[in-house]
């Protein structure tokens, strides 16, 4: 069975067998006990269709991919990967070999903290900073994300160099 996220429905050559919106198993509510939750989910799907949010997410998602790819030029960034509105930025000590910084450098959390101080929330996960903005994000907001994340990465890069971490 192929399970593809909602925005993929608008992608050519991708046909999902199932549309699944993820929720932790311990938070799952079945239809017999979750009439309100089911009604809210149906209304949410109705709004997504009525507002054509999947087409919007595909268009703005391509712009988001492009803006985030620009971060690859930064010395600390080893990779920008993902699709459309689900991307992550990987931090590395050496771009050529993709060697990671030691865990104690804690660079992803530091980037997250710096970005938050500048008004942007990103999720640190290991050596990654993960972003999954809402389907309604605008290109102007994408610009803010890209510019703010770049400033945060540059700030943390400077700190790491001052602390003696070798970046190549």
Q: Same domain, yes or no, for 36 and 67?
A: no
Q: Same domain, yes or no, for 79 and 152?
A: yes
Domain span at residue 97 reads 56-162
Q: Same domain, yes or no, for 37 and 71?
A: no
- Total domains in the fold of the chain: 2
Structure tokens at 66: 């492009």
- Binned at pLDDT 50, 70 and 90, residue 113 comes out as very high
pLDDT at 107 over 70: yes
Residue with more model confidence, 98 or 38: 98
Q: Same domain, yes or no, for 33 and 63?
A: no
Classify burial at 76, counting beta carbons within 10 Å of its beta carbon; exposed 0-12, middle 13-18, buried 19 or more.
Answer: buried
DSSP state of 25: G
Alpha-helical (H) ranges within 51-98 are 53-69
Q: Same domain, yes or no, for 128 and 74?
A: yes
pTM of the model as a whole: 0.78
pLDDT at 38: 84
Structure tokens at 39: 């009604």
Q: Return the residue matching tokens 């993902």.
A: 82
Distance CA 155, CA 50 (A): 42
Q: Same domain, yes or no, for 61 and 41?
A: no
- Binned at pLDDT 50, 70 and 90, residue 92 comes out as very high
CATH code (residue 71): 3.90.1150.10
pLDDT tens digits for range 18-70: 565 555 555 555 555 678 888 898 999 999 999 999 999 999 999 999 999 99
Average pLDDT over residues 91-100: 96
Average pLDDT over residues 152-157: 98
Lowest mean pLDDT among 11-15, 138-142, 152-156: 11-15
């Amino acid at each position: 069975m192929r399970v593809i996220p909602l925005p993929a429905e608008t992608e050519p050559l991708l046909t999902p067998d199932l549309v699944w919106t993820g929720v932790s198993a311990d938070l799952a509510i079945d239809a017999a006990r979750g009439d309100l939750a089911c009604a809210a989910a149906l209304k949410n799907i109705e709004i997504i269709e009525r507002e054509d949010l999947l087409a919007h997410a595909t268009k703005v998602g391509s712009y988001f991919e492009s803006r985030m790819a620009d971060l690859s030029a930064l010395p600390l960034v080893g990779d920008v990967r993902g699709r459309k509105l689900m991307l992550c930025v990987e931090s590395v000590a050496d771009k050529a070999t993709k060697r990671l910084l030691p865990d104690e450098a804690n660079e992803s959390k530091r980037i997250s903290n710096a970005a938050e101080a500048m008004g942007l929330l990103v999720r640190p996960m290991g050596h990654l900073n993960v972003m999954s903005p809402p389907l309604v994000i605008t290109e102007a907001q994408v610009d803010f994300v890209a510019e703010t994340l770049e400033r945060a990465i540059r700030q943390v890069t400077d700190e790491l160099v001052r602390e003696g971490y070798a970046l190549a």
